[in-house]
Amino acid sequence: MVGQDKTSRVADSPEKMSDETILKIAKEITVKFIEVGRITPTTFASAFAGIYSTIDKAVRGNKS
């Protein structure tokens, strides 16, 4: 039996993507922005919230 890597385990539809998956994606993007100096400790909370909601809207099509 061949093992699957992380990229091959994609959700069947956006509705099936869990909050945890979106949280992990937002975390990775936030870490990259911190590494390049785009996010600081004072802007972290609002930046992370914005990143998370943007990903959620893109994946699920939420309008909120």
- At 61 the pLDDT is 85
Whether pLDDT at 6 is above 70: no
- At 28 the pLDDT is 97
6 or 39, which is more confident?
39
Residue-range domain boundaries for the chain: 15-60
The 10 Å Cβ neighbour count of residue 44 is: 13
47 or 4, which is more confident?
47
Tell me the per-residue pLDDT of 26-60, one tens digit each, with 9 for 90 and over. 999 999 999 999 999 999 999 999 999 999 999 98
For residue 15, is it left (φ>0), alpha (ψ between -120 and 50) or beta?
A: alpha
Spatial distance between the Cα atoms of 30 and 28, rounded to a whole number of angstroms: 5
pTM to 2 decimal places: 0.71
**C-alpha dist (Å) from residue 64 to 47, 51, 60:** 17, 14, 11
